[in-house]
A and B are shown apart, each in its own frame.
Chain A
Amino acid sequence: MDFKRITIISGHYGSGKTNIAVSLSLDLKKQHENTAIADIDIVNPYFRTKDSEDLLNKNGIRLICSKYANSNVDIPALPQEMYAVTDDKTLYSILDVGGDERGALALGRLVPKIQQENNYEMIYVVNKYRPLTSTPESAIEVMTEIEQACRLKFTSIINNSNLGKETDTNTVLLSVPFVEEVAKRTGLPIAYTTVYKKLLPELEGKIKNLYPINLQKYM
C-alpha cells in the first residue's frame, strides 16, 4: 500500500480493526521513518492497541494511546498526544478508531484538520461473518452510520472476512462476491482481502490484493 500521511481504520466493532491497524503500522514503518499508531478507541476497554506494545516498541513505532488503556479505569479518555497525528506534518500514522458510529464520534474532532490537509485514507474494515454486517445492505448501513458520526467519507475497504480459528480457503472465497457488491454499491476500491498466513499459498492467484495476517489469539 502507498500510504497517505494519515490512515484511518474504522468499522463495526469486532471486525478486526486493531489487528489490521497494528499490521499496517509495520508496513508503514518500512516506508516512513517517523511513524505512529494512535488508539482513539473510546468504546471497548478490553482489546487495545496497547496489547501489541512490545511489538510496536521493538519496531520503533510510536504508540499513542490513553494512559488509562489496559488499566481498570474504565473511562472513555482520549490521549492529548493524539493531536500529533494532525499537527506534526512529518509524522505518518495509523488511526485505530473505536467500533461503530459511537467510536467514530471520537474521530470527529480531528476531522476538520484532516480534511484541510487532505492527505488521508479512511479504510472500512468489514467481516461478512459478523452477524450485523453479513449482507451488503447491513455492511453499508454500518458504514454510513460511521461516516455520519465522524463527518468523513471512507476511501477504501479491507475485506477481513473470517471465522476465527475455523477459517478455511472457502470461508475467504465465499466472502469475495459480498465485498465486491459492497464496493460496487459504494464506489470504493477493495484495498485488501486479508488471509491467514497458512492459507496464503492456496489462495494466491485466486483473489486480488491478498494481505497475510496472523490469527488473533484471545486466550
Chain B
Amino acid sequence: MADKVLMKGNEAIAEAAIIAGCRHYFGYPITPQTEIAAYMAKRMPKIGGVFLQAESEIAAINMVYGVSSTGKRVMTSSSSPGISLKGEGLSYLAGADLPALVINVQRGGPGLGGIQPSQSDYFQATKGGAHGDFHMIVLAPASVQEMAELTVKGFELADKYRMTSMILADGTMGQMMEPVSLDIPVEKSIEKPWAVTGTKMQRKHNIINSLFLKPEILEKTNYDRYQRYETIKQNEVRYEDYLMEDAEICIVAFGIAARVSKNAINEARKKGIKAGMIRPITLWPFPEKQIAKAAEKAKTFISVELSMGQMIEDIKLAVNGKADVTLCNRTGGMIPSPEQVLAAIEAAAEKGGNN
C-alpha cells in the first residue's frame, strides 16, 4: 500500500514513459491532456531528459521522427484535433518503420468539438490514422494503473515491431485520479541495428526514409509490413473477459465505457440477466477471434461507445451475422450512464432472452 501514489491518468502516462526509458518528449498543449506536458516539463530536466514544447503538433511529431531515427524511445501526446495535425507524421513514421509512442486523450469532435471525453477517434486510430497502407498498435486503458502499464507496453511493442503504438484514452481517463503502483517491469530495449547512430567508419550507413522511387520496391515494403501485421494479430491481442462463461448478452466496450458497463452488468446479473463483457485492451489488433467465439453462445452484442458507433463495425465483422449487434452510445463529450447501459441490456434480454 505504501508504495502507491495518487495520480491523474495523464501523469501516470508521463511517469510510466520515464520508467520505460523515454528521455525525449515533444508536445503541444491541448485539453484534456496538458498534464502530460506539464509533468514532463517538471520531470525531464531533473533526469537529464528533453522536454520541448514545440511550435505546433506537426513540429512535435516530426521531432519524434528525428529522435526515433537515432534509436531512442520517444513520445508525443495530444488530443483529438491535435492528433489530426500529426497525421502526416504518423504516416511517415509508418513508411520509415520507426517505433514511437503517441498518446491521444480524446475529446469530443469533429472539428474543434469540445473538451469533454470522447471515443470518436476509434476509426482514425485503428484504421491507420493517415494516408497510405498502415496500422498502429492501439492500446485502450480503462484505469490509471493501466494508463501506466500500457504506456510501458506501448514502448516495448513499438520497438519490437518497428511501428507506432498509440494509447487511445479519453478525457475522463486522463483527468481521473486513482492510486497507482509504479513498480512496472520494463523489457530491456531491443537492439536497433537500423538506427542512425554514426557509422564510426565501421559499417555501411543506415538510411531512414519513407520515399521509394521504384513502385516495385514500395509494393514489396508494403507486403513485408503487412506480413509483420499478421504476426502482431496472432501474438499481441489483449482483452479482458468479464462474466462471459454463461453470457447471453455480451457487451463490448473499452476505456471509460467499459467501467460504466461493468456496473450495469453487475446490476443486470442481480436481476437474473446473463450479461457479460469482452473489453478489448488492444483495439488494433482487435480481439475478433474472441468475439467470434462468444457469438457461438451469446444472442446479442451491445457496443457501448462514446461515439456515433465506430467499434460496432468491427464487432459486426467478427460476429459475422451470428447474433444481433446493437449500439448504446453517447457523443459530444457525454458518457453513457450505468442506467442507460442497463436499459440496453434489459431491452436485449426482453427481445431475445426468452430461454
**Cα of A134 to Cα of B35 in the assembled complex, Å:** 18
Question: Closest residue of chain A to B43, judged by CB?
Answer: A132
Docked-complex contact B31 and A45, CB < 8 angstroms: yes
Docked-complex contact A131 and B15, CB < 8 angstroms: yes
Residues of A within 8 A of B171 (CB): 46
Docked-complex contact B179 and A163, CB < 8 angstroms: yes
Docked-complex contact B177 and A72, CB < 8 angstroms: no
**Does A154 belong to the interface (CB within 8 Å)?**
no
Q: In which size bucket is the chain A interface?
A: 20 to 34
**Cα of A127 to Cα of B7 in the assembled complex, Å:** 11
**Cα of A130 to Cα of B104 in the assembled complex, Å:** 23
Contact with A along B3-25 (1 / 0, CB 8 A): 01111100100010000000000
**Cα of A188 to Cα of B107 in the assembled complex, Å:** 41
**Cα of A90 to Cα of B44 in the assembled complex, Å:** 47
**Does A88 belong to the interface (CB within 8 Å)?**
no
Partner of B5, one of A44, A47, A130, A170: A130
Docked-complex contact B260 and A168, CB < 8 angstroms: no
Docked-complex contact B177 and A166, CB < 8 angstroms: no
**Does B114 belong to the interface (CB within 8 Å)?**
yes
Known: A163-B1, A166-B1. A14 touches B177 (CB 8 A): yes
| Contact residues of B: prevailing secondary structure | mixed
**Does B176 belong to the interface (CB within 8 Å)?**
yes
Partner of A72, one of B1, B114, B175, B176: B114
Known: A131-B11, A131-B15, A162-B6. A218 touches B116 (CB 8 A): no
**Cα of A47 to Cα of B115 in the assembled complex, Å:** 12
Interface residues of B in 201-229 (CB under 8 A from A): none
**Does A192 belong to the interface (CB within 8 Å)?**
no
**Does A112 belong to the interface (CB within 8 Å)?**
no
Where the two chains meet, the residues of A that have a C-beta atom closer than 8 Å to any C-beta of B are 13-14, 44-47, 72, 74, 100, 127, 129-132, 134, 162-166, 168, 170-171, 174, 218-219
In addition to A164-B178, A174-B2, 18 A-B residue pairs with Cβ atoms within 8 Å of each other are A72-B113, A100-B38, A127-B6, A129-B4, A130-B6, A130-B7, A131-B5, A131-B7, A131-B11, A132-B39, A164-B6, A164-B177, A164-B179, A165-B178, A165-B179, A166-B1, A168-B1, A218-B175
